[in-house]
Each structure stands twice: as C-alpha cells, then as structure tokens.
Structure 1
Amino acid sequence: MQALLALVLTAAAPAGDVERGRALLADRTQSLCLLCHALTSEGDANHGNLAPPLAQAAQLGPAALRERIADMRRFNPATVMPPFRSTDGLRDVAPVWAGRPVLTEQQLDDLVAYLGTLSK
C-alpha cells in the first residue's frame, strides 16, 4: 500500500526543475549531498568519497532515486545517509529540525530532475 501511495504521489508531484536541483545539490548547507558523494566517478577534491558517485546513482531511474533520497533506510537499514523526507525513528535532532524533513517534496523533485541529467 505504501509503495502504491508513493507512486501516486510521485506521479502527482510537480515536475522537478533541473536548475533548482543543481543549485540545491551545490548548497552544502541544505542538501549535504556533496559531503558524501562526488558528482562523477573521477571525483573532485571538494566532494565526498564515502558513497557512490551521483552520476552512478542517477542510473537507477527517477522513481528509484527519489525513494532512496527520501529514505535510504528502506533499502539499507544500516545506511548512514540521512532520510531527507522522513522524520520517523530519528533521535538527537536539533530543535530547529524536530518533526521537519530536511527537503520539501518540490526540492526532492528538483534534485531528482538534476541528478537525471548526470547519467546522460
């Protein structure tokens, strides 16, 4: 049922904006992606190397990528990747973030739209 709901919400969501997604990904104060990921397999001294390159992850396709960004714990309960659209089961959350997901649905759509351009 939850998968069906996610599919319906994804289909009904506004299309992501590639340029907003690019800006969000580059903003280390909000998306945090580049703390752990590089954009490409070649890497970059200013990008992380703890997780797969984002261009590689983008090959999953938009729906799978969106699900993993929203809450990677569904696929790997031991992941260190933050759940960007879930607040369930979190502890030691700063008061300003308590009960609030890190990204909005639109921001998630924007990130997925941008990341989709990396695999082309």
Structure 2
Amino acid sequence: MRALAALLLIAGAHASDVERGRALVADRTTSLCLLCHSLTAAGDANQGNLAPPLDAAARLKPAELRERIADMRRFNPATVMPPFRATDGLRDVAPAWQGRAALTERQLEDIVVYLGTLAK
C-alpha cells in the first residue's frame, strides 16, 4: 500500500481519487464499464466479457487511457464503446442526455487513476 500511495503522490493523485474511480467503474448506472469489461482476465460472472479486461488498460499511459475513454471512436470508428466525454456525432440520444457528456472531467480522471492501480 505504501508503494501505491507513493505512486499516487508522484502522479498528483490522492487515495480519494482512486476510491471515487473504483466506485465509478463498479457503478452500473454511471460508467457502465463492467457491462462490457471484466476487471481482470480471470473474469467474473457478474462482469462483462465483450471487451478487454480493464487491468490490461493499465499498460497504457494515463493520457492514452483518458483519450480512449473520452472517445474511442478516434482509434476505432466502429467501436461500440460509448464516447464518455463527447457529444458530437451521436444518434438515438435520450432527450435528457442531448448535448451532455456521460462523464465529467473529474469522473474521467478518477477512473483513469483507478485503472492505473490495476497494473500488475
């Protein structure tokens, strides 16, 4: 745990960022991450298996991970992953969500910090 705390301080993150990120990833009403992803390659019956496990994402630099979560369409135009920080080019958007990103910048940062702790 000390090593994690040291890494977080170096990165400018705090334990509360990690905990908020962990809660967001687990929340099936906000981020929806676990509908498609599992946390690890071992999987879990209550987690998704349509997309790569999230611990694999920890190999990416934070900026790379942030870009992919914000709008994966930049890397794969045919992706089914929602663009969590984009509002352009979407179709069939519920009226309550039109013009509104699915995650705030703070939520995105918290998720990126948390996913970084999953590295092996």
**Normalization by structure 1: what TM-score?**
0.86
CA distance in 1, matches of 2:79, 2:20: 27
CA distance in 2, matches of 1:103, 1:35: 16
CA distance in 2, matches of 1:59, 1:88: 28
Which sits farther off after the overlay, 51-60 or 14-23? Answer: 14-23
User: Size of the alignment, in residue pairs?
Assistant: 107
Q: Does 1:92 align with 2:92?
A: yes
Residue 52 of structure 1: how far off its partner (Å): 0.2
Q: Higher relative contact order at CA 8 Å, sep ≥6: structure 1 or structure 2?
A: 1
Structure 2 counterpart SS, 1:68: helix
Structure 1 counterpart SS, 2:117: helix
Q: Deviations over 1:94-117 (max 9, x none)?
A: 011010000000000000000000
Q: State whether residues 15 and 109 of structure 1, in contact with CA within 8 Å, keep that contact through their aligned partners in structure 2.
A: no
- Please tell me the residue identity of whatever aligns with 1:46: N
- Please tell me the residue identity of whatever aligns with 1:76: N
Residue 57 of structure 1: how far off its partner (Å): 1.4
CA distance in 2, matches of 1:60, 1:99: 29
CA distance in 1, matches of 2:19, 2:61: 19
Structure 2 counterpart SS, 1:118: coil
**Normalization by structure 2: what TM-score?**
0.86
CA distance in 2, matches of 1:38, 1:107: 19
CA distance in 2, matches of 1:41, 1:51: 11
CA distance in 2, matches of 1:98, 1:15: 31
Pairwise CA RMSD = 1.2
Q: Deviations over 1:26-68 (max 9, x none)?
A: 1000000000000000000000000000000121121100000
> What is the match of residue 63 of structure 2?
63
Structure 1 counterpart SS, 2:58: helix
Matches within 5 A, 1:45-56: 45-56=45-56
Residue 15 of structure 1: how far off its partner (Å): 4.4
> What is the match of residue 3 of structure 2?
none
4+ residue segments displaced more than 6 Å = none
Structure 2 counterpart SS, 1:83: coil
